[in-house]
Structure 1
Amino acid sequence: MSSSKKLITCLSIILVVVLSCTQSVHSQLQVGFYMNSCTFAEFIVKDEVRKAFIQDEGVAAGLVRLHFHDCFVRTGGEGYYVPAGRRDGRTSLASEASTNLPPPTLDVDQLTQSFANKGFTQEEMVTLSGAHTIGRSHCTSFSNRLNNFNGTRSQDPSLDPMYAARLKEQCPQGSTDPNLVVPMNPSSPAVTDVGYYIDILANRGLFTSDQTLMRNPITANQVNQNARNPMLWRLKFAAAMLKMGQLGVLTGNAGEIRTNCRVINS
């Protein structure tokens, strides 16, 4: 069973536990939402996530991705508390991910507008981009920067040559293997730190949307600040993730609590 399927199964079990304990659903998200109806719900989530992470460090990146796709967990890593109480929607379309999540090819202005459409400031965009400190990427998401960049038959000049050479070894030109992946932050791919920003300063941002942050003096300054102040970035990141958790909330009688998170309740 793949790590993603194991994680989904784990979360499905957790949701069943929460459902069986919940007697009523309130209309406002809050830390400790299940304290009265299911005292150990959040502890169960945290413990299961911890055990899943021990088995597969890639789970951390998967959970961040899930959060961007509208999911709640009380995450590890930075140790912040996420208000619980979100209900599942009855509609789930893969197409909505591609139309709402910013692709890795956007420039800084496009990124700013994409996040602004969701109510985030430019600084919050730079802060949330730091989520690329963990996880992996398919070669197809950045191969345009390695070969025939902008039709010039060369690599992106903003990409560090030594880093580009390593990426070319990991992602050979002309390969059709859809499973080829590389870490987004090679120095610490499973650790939530400011290595992402340090890489950008060294022209080792993996995506166009990463390195483009240095093309605007304001966002470039924020990259510098985050690289120099890990604790400040952690605080900003937690705040931005909490804000994201408030988007499109279904509470009360809206939506549902699924007994199997793969499918809507019948």
Structure 2
Amino acid sequence: MILFGFLATWAFGLMLTLDYYKHSCPTFEQTIQQTITNKQITSPSTAAATIRLFFHDCLVDGCDASILVSSTPFNSAERDADINLSLPGDAFDVVVRAKTALELACPNTVSCADILAVAARDLVTMVGGPYYNVLLGRKDGLVSKSNYVEGKLPRPTMPMSQIINIFKSNGFSIQEMVALSGAHTIGFSHCKEFSTGIYNFSKVSQYDREYNPRFAQGLQQACKDFTMNPTLSVFNDIMTPNKFDNMYFQNLPKGLGLLKSDHGMYSDPRTRPLVELYAADQNKFFAAFAKAMEKLSVYKVKTGRQGEIRHRCDAIN
């Protein structure tokens, strides 16, 4: 992984290093660890929320914390694009808490983009997932616009070909896409994101036959009031919902995938062999996930004058 970090630095011409804050902010890692530990204990959904926030940030013009910027009367920011409206508040909150603590310890030194990248990694590790290297020295982006988001993030209702194309357009292989999708082993999805698959699916079936029948019936019961309560949600992995493992992949052949994109992951011949590989061997999944996350974490990062160190994560200076 260190070799990959060196190659990433060389290949992209980045001014990133593993020990970027060694002298300018020695308490950087300790402060983030303390912040995320406290937050995860009080709110166990923080890990999944932060990974999702990081993913939504990076695929839209790079890992530059543009997702954290709030809208103003003059600008509709990324976080207000419709696909981002369901991003959980826990992830925003944990970054803000870490930024506040770091501003007290090391004013005007640590970027929100670096905080988000490290918080996501540390939370993955905290809930049982693999450790991977995160190069540091990102600057925060100077632009955040909601109309930049459409088409850059996969939606759970998209066919697999469209999802593959989104990743390919960003330089990620099918193998890397499947590995990253394994993050669905933790977290939850709102009922509205899969309701079309469990209610009045067709003239011959109430639900999509790719669901395990008992699972589909359980989902119908859990989501029966979702039109009145849009916050109703279900765990992505019903077997080990709070543990980062390979159970997500084990669930798919059994019809226990929650989203249409999950079903597509198993039914598509391009992705099915990888699902089967990661279902059979957690170590191979962890290695592939770690490598893909290292690659994602340096995607289109801003350095030097391309960005800034924000005083507040929710506002460009």
TM-score of Structure 1 vs Structure 2, range by shorter chain: 0.7 to 0.9
Give 3-state SS (helix, strand or coil) of 2:196's partner. Answer: helix
* Residue 251 in structure 1 maps to residue 238 in structure 2: no
| 2:88 aligned with 1:88 | no
Alignment-derived partner of residue 38 in structure 1? 25
- For 2:203 and 2:303, locate their aligned partners in 1 and report how far apart those are by CA, in whole Å: 49
Q: Could you tell me how far apart the structure 2 residues matched to 1:207 and 1:233 are?
A: 20
Mapped to 1, the partners of 2:166 and 2:204 lie a distance apart of 28
User: Equivalent residues in 2 for 1:42-191 (5 A)?
Assistant: 42-68=29-55, 69-70=57-58, 71-74=116-119, 75-76=121-122, 77=125, 78-149=130-201, 154-172=206-224, 175-191=227-243
Structure 1 residues 240 and 55 mapped into 2: Cα distance closer, same or farther (>3 Å)?
A: same
Q: Give 1:239's match in structure 2, choosing from 291, 294, 308.
A: 291
Q: Distance in 1 between the 2:306 and 2:203 partners?
A: 49
Moved beyond 4 Å, runs of 4+: 150-153
Matching residue of 1:9 = none
Mapped pair 1:227 → 2:279 = yes
Are the counterparts in 2 of residues 27 and 252 from structure 1 also a CA contact under 8 Å?
no
Q: Which moved more, 1:94-103 or 1:45-54?
A: 94-103
Q: How far apart in 2 are the matches of 1:151 and 1:250? A: 51
CA distance in 2, matches of 1:87, 1:61: 24
Q: Which residue of 2 aligns with 1:260?
A: 312
Question: 1:29 corresponds to which residue?
Answer: 16
**Hey, what's the Cα distance between the residues in 2 that align with 1:89 and 1:152?**
50
Contact 2:140 2:310 in 1 (8 A): yes
Residue pair 1:108, 1:215 contacting (<8 A) in 2 also: no
SS of 2:237's equivalent in the other structure is: coil
RMSD: 1.9
Structure 2: how far apart are the matches of 1:163 and 1:215?
Answer: 18
CA contact (8 A) 1:72 1:86 kept: no
Listed one character per residue, the Cα deviations across residues 87-129 of structure 1 (whole Å, up to 9, x for unaligned) are 1112223444443110001222222111101100011111111
Offset of 1:79 from its aligned partner? 2.4
1:102 to 1:226, Cα distance in 2 relative to 1, 3 A: same
Contact in 1 for aligned 2:190/2:231 (Cα 8 Å): yes
Deviations 1:33-68 (A, max 9, x none): 111211121221122112211111101011101211
Secondary structure (helix, strand or coil) at the match of 1:84 reads coil
TM-score (norm 1): 0.84
Q: Deviations over 1:126-184 (max 9, x none)?
A: 11111111111111100010012267662111111111111111101673311111111
Superposed CA deviations along residues 176-221 of structure 1, whole A, max 9, x for unmatched, are 3111111111112221111110111111111111110122234111
Give ranges in structure 2 of 5+ residues lacking alignment: 1-12, 59-115
Structure 1: distance between partners of 2:144 and 2:167: 21
Q: Distance in 2 between matches of 1:60 and 1:34?
A: 24
Question: How many Å apart are 1:27 and its aligned residue?
Answer: 4.9
Ranges in structure 1 where 5+ consecutive residues have no aligned partner: 1-25
| 1:208 counterpart (260, 266, 291) | 260
AA aligned to 1:65 is: R
Counterparts of 1:50 and 1:173, CA distance in 2:
34
Percent of counterpart pairs with the same letter? 33
Q: 1:199 to 1:97 in 2, by over 3 A?
A: farther
CA contact (8 A) 1:112 1:125 kept: yes
Q: Distance in 1 between matches of 2:218 and 2:146?
A: 32
